[in-house]
Each structure stands twice: as C-alpha cells, then as structure tokens.
Structure 1
Amino acid sequence: MRLMQTFTFYDRYLAEFCARHPELEALDYENQMRLLRLDGFAAGQILTPVLPDLGYETFLAVMNYLPAQGRWAMEHGLPAPRSRQEQLALLARQVEEFRPDILYLGDPILTDGRWVRSLTWKPRLVVGWRQAEIPPGTDWQGYDLMLSGDEAYRKAALALGARASEPYRPGFPRFLADLVADVPEQNDVVFTGQITRDHGSRLRCLSDLAKAAATGEPPFGLALFLAAHSPVPEELSRLDQGARWGLDMYRCLKAGRIVLNVHIDLTVPGVNFRIIETAGVGGFLLTETGPELNSLFAPGREVETYTGIGELVEKIRHYLDHPAERKAMARRAQERCLRDHCMEARAAWFNEIMRSHL
C-alpha cells in the first residue's frame, strides 16, 4: 500500500528553520526531509515514519519547504518552484511520480477539491485533515474522507462535499520527550499558541489572567509565546516573547510549571493537540473543562481543569504551592500519553480507518 502525505507549514517557521540550517543546500531530498521532521513541527500528524511497520510504502512532501522541493525538482530534471502556483504544480507532479493508493493532504484549503480534481493520477482514496478555520468558498468535492478531532469540523466537511468524515486525532512522537527531557522549569505559567479572529475567548482569558498575575497576592509569572495575527492588548504584549515552533515550542512547554490551554472558539474544549503535546513532554496541563477530555486524560488525576477565570487563578496558586502534587499528575499524564496517544497507536487507528474506506 502506497501512501503520500503532504503539508503546508507556516512560511515564517520554515524561514527560521532554513536560517538555522545553512547545510540544507548540500543535502539531498530525503535528508532535508529527515532534518525537518526531527525539528518537531507538526510531528504529531506526520505518519510516514511509522506506517511502514503496518505494510505501507510512504512519501512525505511539504509543499512550501522550498530547499527540499527545489532539490526534488532538480533530481527529477524540473525547475525549482517560485510561486505558490508552481508549488502546487510541483506537488501534483510528486503525486504523479509516486502514484499513491492513498493521498493524505494536511492542507485541504490550498489543496482543495479543485486541485484534487485536476490530478492526472487518481488515488484510490483522497483523505484530508482539518481542525482550523475553513475559509468561505472552500470546496471539498473529490475528497473521499475528511478527518478531524472535532465533530463540528466533520459536519462541515460533509456540507462542503467530502464523501465521508471520521474522528481522528494526532499523536505524540516519543523522540520529542527525550529531546526536551532535561529542560528545567523556568516559568510559573506558560501559554503558547495563536491569536486570530477565531480566538476571542482565548484573548479574553489571557487578558484576565495577565491582570490577575500582576495584581494578585502573591503575584505569579506568566510567560506568553504568541503567534498574533493582529495587535494584542498591552497587558499581553508586555508578556509576549514571540511565537515558538517545533522543538522550541516543546522546550517552552517543558519549561512551564503549569501549561495553560484555551481552545479556539469553534472547537469543543478538550480535543485540541496542545493537550497531548503538553502531556507528552511531561508538562502539567491546566485546561478548560470539556465533554471529550475524559477520552484523552483523567481530569483531576492526569490533567487539571477549570471553568472560569476565578477557578483558573485559584488552581494556578494551588499547584504552584504544591509542586509534588503537580509533578505526580504530570508524570501520570506522560505515561498515559506515551502508552495511548503515541504515534504507533495513532498509526494503528489511522490504518483501521483507511482499510474501512478502501
């Protein structure tokens, strides 16, 4: 069974990654992709390293990772892509070259139904993943299956033309826990994530928490690592140390005594990936109460929850004052994550879904 998985990563992240790795120019395609994977960006969604154990032959492409895509083009006698349209055209050429049975698309917005229908090679199964904003005009006709950890997105997929939708969540690669194991605690409370127009409740929560951290008795530290798409209030901007991605993001999670989680507005609390990322590195998670959290971790034993700013501040103070209790809970969460939510478990789940739809 041949499976090709594709992504579009944040351009800003890729620019920073490439600046840190001037040796990329001398590496072939496979080694460039290996170096990128080891940096951890979107690692919980990348299944190509673990699916071969289940009988798959795999190929991974990141459409806008230009050094690697340019190298692949050169290796196949093609010009390097310069524009977004040329990137899409090269990705289609990679599909034609690899001829996958399953095409698993991590960016079903850029590679929507129009792009899928333009392919000259027709996979047996075209699969997408989405749990973020779906722009108006999105077309998913041509997708056989759309995966998401959130029911609202699965329903939206069907309305936009996907033939079927199934629940599926990313996992946690064990190697990331090893790479950040020695990072010491440095910050009382940490939050990493985006601020967009779809994060109104997140913005309000962080603003209220920043005020409480500064004025409460005793005060506590709040470290923010925000990928803000618009200006944030002054009480947040003075605490914001800038976006962190890949291994840097996992180091930030590990360095927090408490890791805060606040969901995007459209998602049911309890299902986003930060929950698994935090548990995977051994961090203590404080997240919103949600109906689906129990399917991942045991509230009060493996992770802690809150229902409003008052309870959030109260629990922050409690767990800062009780480090042994906090660390024991984080240890149990990590053990659960590495057992039940690791990439091997996710690969088995993914394989079951694929076999049922082929």
Structure 2
Amino acid sequence: MKIITVHTYYKPFLDSFYGRRDDRRLDYGKTRNALLKRQFGIGDAYSYNLRRMGHDAIDLIMNDTVLIRLWLRRNWESDLLKIADRLPNFLYRKVITRTNWLKYGLPMVAEEVRLQKPDIVLVRNVKLFPPEWIRKIKQATRIGVVGQIAYSFDKFAWLREYDLVISSLPNLVRYMEKRGIRARYMAHAFYKRILKKVKKQKKQHAVVFVGGFTTAHLDEIRVMEEIVRKVPMKIWGYGVKKLLPSTSPLMKYYQGEAWGLRMFNIYHNAKIVFNRHGDVAPVKKIYANNHRLFEATGAGAMLLTDAKDNLKEFFRVGREAVTYKDADDAVRKINYFLSHEGERKKIAKAGQIRTLKDHTYERRMEEFERIIRSTLMKDSQTKHRGRDYHH
C-alpha cells in the first residue's frame, strides 16, 4: 500500500528548528527529512516502520510555512513566490505567515494526494480538515481517508466524512461508534530507534516532567503545584508562561521548552518521569492515554503516573510502572524510590523491557495494517473486485 501521513507541528518547535536559516536556500525533501529526524511527536515512526513492512510511506507536514513555500516553489508556478525569492529572508517569511498557512496547507495536501494517488491518507489532526476537504482528498485515494484523534473536539460530525477513525482512547472509540462513526482502537507507542540517538550524562535528573500546560490540565496542574511544594521536580513544557501566574510554585522549577530528541535525552537521564493526563471531552478521564507512558519507559526511566482503569493493560503496576492517587501519594512514592535506588532501577528496567516488547511503533503499525485490511480493504475489494492491494 501507499500511505500518506499528514502531520502538524507546534509553532515553537518549528521556530526553533529554522531559526535564522535562509528559507530560499532550502530544499523541500532534505528539509522535511531533517525535521522528521528531530523526532517531534511521532517523527518518522509511522513511515519508517511501514516501509520496513513493504509499504510506500510518505510524510506531509501541513502547517510548516517554510515547507509549504518550498513545496509551492517545486510544484506550482507562482509570480508571488518568484518575487519573494528576491526579498530579504525576514520579508520572505511574510509571504505565507503563521496566521494564514491553512489557506495554503490544505490545498498543498490535496494536490500532493492527487499527484501521489495513495491507497490511504492518514490525517493526524482532524480539527484542521473541514468535511469538504476530506471529500476532495478521498476522491484521489484508492482505499480511503483515516483520521486519528484522542483529544477534545467540538465538531464530531466532521468525522463521519472519514472512512475510518482510530483513537488511543477506548471510551472515545465507543463514543464515536454510538454516533455512527466507524472507529477502531490503537494505543500510543515508543519509537525504539530513539535509543540509538540519546546519550547518558554523568549526572541524572531526580524527577522530571515534560509536557503541555493548557486549560485541559488545570486539575492536574494543581496537583503538580502541591507536589513541588514538598519535593523538587524539573519541568519542561509549552504553555507555561501563558497559563501559569508568576506566583505558581511550578515556575521555580521551570526549565523552558523541550522537543523531540532533547525531550528523549531528558527522559533517558532521569530517575523518575512524572506523568499526568488531561481532560479529554466528551469522555471521562479514566483511561491512561498519552505518549509519555511509553516515551518515559522506553527511554529507561521509572514511570510515576496517575492511576487509571486501563493501565494494567500496558504495564504490571508496581513492577513495570508506579501509580499515585493524589499529590501526597506522589510525594511519598517519589521520596521512597529516590531513597531505594535498587527498587527504582528494577522497575525502570522492567518497564523498558515491557515497552520494547509490546509497545513499539513497529507493533502499532502491524496493528494498523491489520485494522486497514479488516475494514477498509474489505470495503474496497468489494467495490473493485480483482484489483491487487497487497503490494
């Protein structure tokens, strides 16, 4: 199969990646590959493992204004871009701004799909694709369009345009199915190639947290504030300065933002990685469901995470990961495991072994292939008898 995965990246990460580079001198393919190698989000975890399985896999980053310009230059004749090429770099970047990129990003995806004629298009940010664009993209695919969602969304009707939606939240899968949306479950995972790129430092961090600070995390932020009043915790993340007041006790431990490989190096050099989940409307937050579960354990740290109903499906609680019920419980366990290094190392190692065995993107892409074959390919073969999709 030929599969196109459509990503979106956070603006602060893109800004830090490009810095003062001269956009006009960049090559589209080389720049996209360099971005993927930084391992922001899932990086090239899907495409790499799909290619290993014999599929043709392509990554598109739809909200990167630099890549959009490079793609337009490569694919479309544009007098505006020709003029822009003669401008200083700081003016060049104003041709497609951070606020109007969607005007260009959606057509770029649609045109690339038309040119590539893939079997599957996987959209990882369904919020950005109005129904009319999904219908347009669907017309250029051989099998269909798949959405991926595990977050709060106020336009679930949009999802009916997808041929299939996958989610790492089992209760969100059920929610969608009850509303006539074909949905399947697929958990997050760890990209084991990361281990070849991280390096051990002489001094380990005691307790760390790397993640987002948004209005979906207000209850959890209060728990973290209670914790750091009693034990220190180094914190990296986005949204901190925008959401937290300067008086928040978390600000004392804030280290800035950390993305991709830098984040994995922090986990790799941490004794304990603290984890918490946010609010994912319209379903209750009773399920363990974030990348940090597998990123932390895969990188070799001991995971301390909030207790959730389904955590036992991923790890043996107390042996491969540790849970806390509230701030006081988290403080007790942090103090205990920092003073019982042997036990902490044993749990961290067992958690890493479990993740590398059962929770890698290699395994998830095998699941993804089975899901596609048992759903969309059956539909497609019914419509197009005799055509071969097993390539």
Q: Is the 8 A contact 2:120 2:141 kept in 1?
A: no
**1:69-111 residue CA offsets vs partner (Å, 9 max, x unmatched):** 3223222234468232111111111111111111100110002
Q: Does 1:142 align with 2:156?
A: no
**% of aligned pairs identical?**
26
Return the alpha-carbon distance in structure 2 between the equivalents of residues 296 and 44 of structure 1. 22
Q: Is the 8 A contact 1:39 1:247 kept in 2?
A: yes
Distance 1:207 1:256, change over 3 A: same
TM normalised by structure 2 equals 0.83
Structure-to-structure mapping, 1:16-35, within 5 angstroms: 16-19=16-19, 22=21, 26-35=25-34
Equivalent residue number for residue 227 of structure 1: 238
Return the alpha-carbon distance in structure 1 between the equivalents of residues 305 and 263 of structure 2. 18
Equivalent residue number for residue 121 of structure 1: 140
RMSD of the alignment, in Å?
2.2
Equivalent residue number for residue 15 of structure 2: 15
Return the alpha-carbon distance in structure 2 between the equivalents of residues 78 and 280 of structure 1. 46
Return the alpha-carbon distance in structure 2 between the equivalents of residues 293 and 27 of structure 1. 44
Letter in 1 for 2:331: V
SS of residue paired to 2:103: helix
Q: Is the 8 A contact 1:184 1:254 kept in 2?
A: no
Letter in 1 for 2:124: G
Structure-to-structure mapping, 1:184-203, within 5 angstroms: 184-203=202-221
Distance 1:224 1:268, change over 3 A: same
Q: Is the 8 A contact 1:189 1:260 kept in 2?
A: yes
**1:178-207 residue CA offsets vs partner (Å, 9 max, x unmatched):** 222423444321111112111122111111
Return the alpha-carbon distance in structure 1 between the equivalents of residues 169 and 43 of structure 2. 16
Letter in 2 for 1:127: V
Structure-to-structure mapping, 1:1-358, within 5 angstroms: 1-19=1-19, 22=21, 26-43=25-42, 46-79=45-78, 82=96, 83=100, 84-119=102-137, 120-136=139-155, 139-158=158-177, 162=181, 164-213=182-231, 221-228=232-239, 229-232=242-245, 233-266=247-280, 267-357=285-375, 358=377
Letter in 2 for 1:297: F
Q: Is the 8 A contact 1:101 1:125 kept in 2?
A: yes
How much has 1:122 moved relative to structure 2? Answer: 4.3
Return the alpha-carbon distance in structure 1 between the equivalents of residues 146 and 191 of structure 2. 22
Return the alpha-carbon distance in structure 1 between the equivalents of residues 56 and 200 of structure 2. 35
Return the alpha-carbon distance in structure 2 between the equivalents of residues 135 and 123 of structure 1. 29
Return the alpha-carbon distance in structure 1 between the equivalents of residues 61 and 140 of structure 2. 19
How much has 1:63 moved relative to structure 2? Answer: 0.4
Equivalent residue number for residue 381 of structure 2: none
Q: Is the 8 A contact 1:212 1:313 kept in 2?
A: yes
Letter in 1 for 2:16: E
How much has 1:55 moved relative to structure 2? Answer: 2.8
How much has 1:130 moved relative to structure 2? Answer: 1.0
Letter in 2 for 1:38: K
Stretch moving more, 330-339 or 80-89: 80-89
Aligned length: 349
**1:117-151 residue CA offsets vs partner (Å, 9 max, x unmatched):** 23352442211111122135762221111111112
Return the alpha-carbon distance in structure 2 between the equivalents of residues 18 and 161 of structure 1. 42
How much has 1:156 moved relative to structure 2? Answer: 4.2
Return the alpha-carbon distance in structure 2 between the equivalents of residues 323 and 106 of structure 1. 39
Distance 1:242 1:138, change over 3 A: farther
Return the alpha-carbon distance in structure 2 between the equivalents of residues 135 and 90 of structure 1. 25
Of structures 1 and 2, the larger Rg is shown by 2
Gaps in structure 1 of 5+ consecutive residues: 214-220
Stretch moving more, 184-193 or 106-115: 184-193
How much has 1:248 moved relative to structure 2? Answer: 1.5
Q: Is the 8 A contact 1:139 1:160 kept in 2?
A: no
Return the alpha-carbon distance in structure 2 between the equivalents of residues 62 and 203 of structure 1. 31
Return the alpha-carbon distance in structure 2 between the equivalents of residues 25 and 155 of structure 1. 47
Return the alpha-carbon distance in structure 2 between the equivalents of residues 289 and 300 of structure 1. 11
